[in-house]
Each structure stands twice: as structure tokens, then as C-alpha cells.
Structure 1
């Protein structure tokens, strides 16, 4: 349970950490469809990104070009730029990022999360960076409550089966020993689409990474392949495709 006190201070998960997890999607209309996918995510401090021993580096790289515009010296610089555009200045406060790392040069993050803390340790905001399979990115600025919840209008095309309307109800408490995240898309006149991520923390040791890599090789490639596979299945089941808006540039943080 997240208390007001825990929401005010940054989670100290002895970063970096690994979270073997299960991702679940449930669609209720116009066709009921549910899927589960197992993967693992990293939780890292943006000011202290892990650098693995050379033989293990192909299994996890954190690259600037994979986030926001990709046009700054670091992910932290781009995040600070994005927050500055919204009048938020962390003044050196800690930022924890939950995301996939690049594995053998490939990465796809449908959702990267950033818990942003002020210099006094209080949680200032959460940033949810969404990537779609068309190479586009968009970031949502969230002011979460004590339970880690926030509501935000949807304004980015993600799935070809959902138009850009409705709003998200997100529950994004800072990860601790357990990872418990949920996102519900509420659309006018229809039942919600829900996604959840459940996992447990492991210390990011070389042995733990090797075990996960052997169990789930090419984790980010499998995520993008699974999205396309299930999209084809839904299309073949008659789910109507929604028109995609014009291409948009990544978030203008520099």
C-alpha cells in the first residue's frame, strides 16, 4: 500500500534493479480479447546508468537516441528539457526510469516511465513516454496522487484499433519489491481497454541478467513481434482499423 509519506520520498530500490514481469492486455469490445506476455524491465537512476562488464554489454545498453528526441547529450538532459517546457525544474533531484534496455542493438519500449523527484526527495511528477510501432513517440506529464494514480487525455495514436479519443486512468506507484502498474483507456460509449504490469524486483547482478537473458532472449524484439502478431489476429477477427493521423515528430525536448 502506498502511503502519503512513501509518495513524498523517492523509492530507493538499490538501483539498478531488474523486474521479471507479466504484461496483460484485456480488450472487451467489439471483440473480447486478452493476451499475456512475459518479459523483464530495468529500473535505473538516470544519473547513474549501469555500464555492464564488456562481455555482457550486448545484453543491456541505455542509449540516448531511444528516448524523447534523441538529440541531447543524455536521457536526463532530454527529460529535464521536457519538464522545463512545462514549468517543472527538479534542480538535480533524482529520476528513476523503468524501461527495456537495448539487447543486441534492438529496443522497443511501448511505455517508458520516469519518476521525478525534487531536491528534497518529494515526488514531483511522473512522465509516461509512449512509443508506437510507426516510430513515433509522445510523452505525458502526470501529477499522481498518493496512490500513484492520474488521469490524462489520450492524444497519441498507439493501436490501429483505437482512435485518438478518450482518456487514460493510470496507476503508477513507484516500484519497490513489487511492480504493480495499470492503465485503463476509457472511451465514449464503450467498455475500457486495460493493461497491467506485474513483477518482482531482483538485484541487477550479472548472474540475474544472464538467467533472464537465457530464459527470455531478445526480449524487446519479442515485444514488438507480439504486438504485430496479435494485431494481425485482431484484424482477421474483423476488428475495424482506425485511420492514423499524420506523422508527428518526437517530443521537442532538447
Structure 2
């Protein structure tokens, strides 16, 4: 692997300033865009990061924080082990096969104790520091979560494409009979996650987050606090506000369905990955 592109040479803690974008493409036209920032944290170095990054804590209170309990089930006390446990339940790794050793998470941090993460992404690396799996943790506003685990065919690639059927109820205005088409750029100097949701092979929704890495210092973290002080509640409030607007536009309410019995949906690597179906991000 090219050393310059090796994820292990990235900082164990990175901040990405960017935008979230959503656009519906069906008969109910709707669009939103707002500024956010995410952090990418190496879970194996989380405790040291908590001591070295100004105004940030892992499993403690601070201006910004990541709380492991927000992302794992009761009975676990280590988020890295929880992610490995989910992967062990997936179809990606045979019984007894080595699980990914290094795991990075991309998530919205808590601000003064508040956050909501509709999507957290775990980038999972093997013993050779090659990306071997991407785990998407999806949450809805009912406190439920589900995981989509994708095997990776080329761990050295900077972008990855995969797709799967929707298995977990998220939006009250989108039916379950849909398909997700993902494009993910591994977090380095920039990051991008684009999800084109289709129904009956027609575009339904484009959702994306794209961001650029910013310097991390006491001043930059304080600057984030002034720029994004409302982010912790803004994301959850925006979800309900946008849902209300969709209802006024005539979107049909979809009855909530029970989550899948398994905590993870598994998708084996595509030997011939390719671009996702077109989604208009303009």
C-alpha cells in the first residue's frame, strides 16, 4: 500500500467541517442543507486522545465528547469490542476468522452533553491496516438502531461503492421497499458519504455529508463551539421540522415497523464495485 495513503498515518482524531444535504426526487419535492461537523476517532487510541485534544473527552463531560454508550448495547463497556461483536454476528467473517483490529468511527460529537447521530460509520481495518469492512450504524428517533455491514474488496482504495435493500424503519415518509446505494470516501483530508435511495429503480432520495479536515487546537475547538453550539439539538429538531414540512406537502405517513431480529444486515464484497446510480447533488 502507498504509505502516503495508508490510514494508519492519519491522526487518531480528526475534525471535519462540512454540510449535510438531502433532496427528494419523487412527486414530493423537498430539499435541505445545513452546516455540521463530524469527528473521526480511532477507538484504540480514544483514551489518549481524550487527554491530548483540547475541550474533547471520550466517555467524560467536556465541551465536545464521544460517549461510547450512545453507540452500543447494554452489557458492553468497550465500543471497539461492541463493533467487533456486531461484525462477528455478520456474514462477513467466518467462525474463528480474525476480526478487524483497528476501528475508526465517524460521528457527530456531543456538545455540552447533547447529540443525535442518525448515522455513525465505523471503518474497520485488518492486521495489515487494510480496510476490510465498513459498518453503518443507523438510528431512528424511536431509540432503535440497526447495522449494515459491508465487506471491502480493495482495502487500499480511497472510495467504496456498495448497495443493499432497506431493512430498518427510519423515516415516517419513506416506504420500506427501497434500496440504498452508497459511495463512501475514506476520511483523510476530506470525507464524503453519499446515499442514493431508490424505489422501483427510480431515484427517491439523495442524502450526503461532505467535509474537509480542519486543524485541531484549543482555538479551533473553541471556534467550533461558537459556530456549532446548537448542533446537538439542531439535528434532532431539524428531523422533526422537515418531517412536518413533508406532511404539509402531502407525503404519505408510513406506519412504523419493528426492527429486524438480527442487529446487523451483511453484504459481502462486490468483486466488481462501481459508481452508484446518479443522484443530483446540485
TM-score by length of 2: 0.80
For residue 188 of structure 1, report the CA deviation from its aligned partner: 1.4
Map Cα deviations across residues 42-78 of structure 1 (whole Å, 9 max, x no partner). 0000111131579664222222210131431111010
Q: Which residue of 2 aligns with 1:150?
A: 162
Size of the aligned set, in residue pairs, is 248
2:229 paired residue among 185, 198, 217: 217
Distance 1:248 1:143, change over 3 A: closer
- For 2:152 and 2:238, the matched residues in 1 are separated by 30
- For 1:102 and 1:190, the matched residues in 2 are separated by 36
Q: Which residue of 2 aligns with 1:94?
A: 102
Greater alpha carbon shift after TM alignment, 170-179 vs 89-98: 89-98
Compare relative contact order (CA 8 Å, sep 6+) and give the higher one, 1 or 2: 1
- For 1:79 and 1:170, the matched residues in 2 are separated by 20
Distance 1:174 1:225, change over 3 A: same
Residue 234 (structure 2) pairs with residue 234 (structure 1): no
Distance 1:90 1:62, change over 3 A: farther
Unmatched segments (≥5 aa) in structure 1: none
Greater alpha carbon shift after TM alignment, 31-40 vs 81-90: 81-90
SS in 1 for 2:83: helix
Q: CA RMSD in A?
A: 2.4
Residue 129 (structure 2) pairs with residue 129 (structure 1): no
Q: Which residue of 1 aligns with 2:172?
A: 160
2:192 paired residue among 180, 184, 189: 180
- For 1:68 and 1:33, the matched residues in 2 are separated by 33
Distance 1:225 1:11, change over 3 A: farther
